[in-house]
Amino acid sequence: MSVRVLVTGGTGLVGQGIEYVIENEPANSHFGKRDGEEWFFIGSSEADLRNQEQTRKLFEKYKPTHVIHLAALGSHAIAQLDFLRDNILINDNVLHTAHEFKVKKVISCLSTCVYPDKVEYPLDETKIHLGLPHESNFGYAHAKRLVDIQNRAYKDQFGDNFTSAIPTNVFGPHDNFDMESAHVLPALIHRCYLSKKNNTPFVVWGSGKPLRQFIYSRDLAKLFVWMLRNYDSVEPLILSVGEDEEVSIKQAADAVVNAVGFTGEYRFDTTKADGQFRKPASNKKLLELVKDTGFAFTPFDKALDETVQWFLQNYNNARIGKPQ
């Protein structure tokens, strides 16, 4: 029987990573495209998933047997209620339509922001609901938490095979490099590029000491493909490099400087706040599950260099925001 995989949010960072892996890994391998598989990567231009009828028409068009649900609205410019309602609508429409169309498996993408603000580290799969999320994005966090509840409810009532993945800090080609809304790595890359272009100092906010677990989008993509084929538990799964592979913001900025080829003035503005020092997540469960697949994380410097080269080659078409 043919396998038809619908990837919502398929034109974004992670979706493009999955498409790259499917097309470039050896056919019929652990992570490459397999005989009888068809993959469909759709973006918001094809359907507004907040709309139930548009979601249904999307499923009628592609008739998926499997869904990787990446679509979300996640700009910090959105008010909390809009964050909450829009993402609840998207998730409810996708999951309920998948149920009605008897989709065999759905994997939804969550975020470490679902975790409580006050929690014992390292994060693991059992700690999602142990307290309130950080107030800065509580609307988004609660909408994403609710996906885990919905997955369990669909399994409890109907036996549906719905689950979720929790990546740490994702980066890679096709990232959002708009400095108004970008995460730390793509923002550093864009800022360093402009410093080189304009012959101005490259200034990094904070001390550079905080630590983060960064996962390359193409590594994450392989893990999504593996989950789709092999992971059948409703329990969420953290997809991350290990705690021993944390990278400081200074190490990340140093790697950006090297990859961009910036030789000008480079300094840290310690008058700016650092943010949370570290929020490590455990990947012990993941490593045990994928130990026989040959999977290995791409070294950070190599992944960052590939990301920078993609950014430089695609600057005019990348998500860079207003011209600088």
Q: What is the CATH number of the domain that holds 107?
A: 3.40.50.720
For residues 102 and 252, give the distance between their C-alpha atoms in angstroms, rounded to a whole number: 44
For residues 155 and 236, give the distance between their C-alpha atoms in angstroms, rounded to a whole number: 13
Note the pLDDT of residue 274: 84
Residues 123 and 263 in one domain: no
Residues 196 and 91 in one domain: no
Residues 26 and 74 in one domain: yes
Does any domain span residue 285? no
Q: Which amino acid, 106?
A: V
Residues 188 and 136 in one domain: no
Total tally of structural domains belonging to the chain: 2
Residues 50 and 81 in one domain: yes
Note the pLDDT of residue 273: 87
Q: What is the CATH number of the domain that holds 262?
A: 3.90.25.10
How high is the mean pLDDT in each 10-residue block of the chain (324 residues)? Answer: 94 97 95 96 96 98 98 77 95 98 98 92 95 91 97 98 97 92 92 96 94 97 98 98 95 96 95 87 96 94 97 90 70
Length, in residues, of the chain: 324
Residues 100 and 238 in one domain: yes
Does any domain span residue 305? yes
Does any domain span residue 273? yes
How many C-beta atoms surround the C-beta of residue 168 within 10 A? Answer: 21
Residues 89 and 222 in one domain: yes
Does any domain span residue 229? yes
Does any domain span residue 291? no
**3-class DSSP state of 58:** helix
Residues 23 and 54 in one domain: yes
Q: What is the pTM of this model?
A: 0.95
Residues 92 and 224 in one domain: yes
Note the pLDDT of residue 136: 85
Q: What is the DSSP letter of 5?
A: E
Residues 117 and 191 in one domain: no
Note the pLDDT of residue 181: 83
Does any domain span residue 144? yes
Does any domain span residue 322? no
Domain extent, residue 252, equals 175-212+244-279+298-313
Pairing of strands 247-248, 211-212: antiparallel
Note the pLDDT of residue 47: 97
Residues 107 and 66 in one domain: yes
Residues 21 and 98 in one domain: yes
Note the pLDDT of residue 75: 59
Catalytic residues: 140
Note the pLDDT of residue 76: 59
Note the pLDDT of residue 242: 94
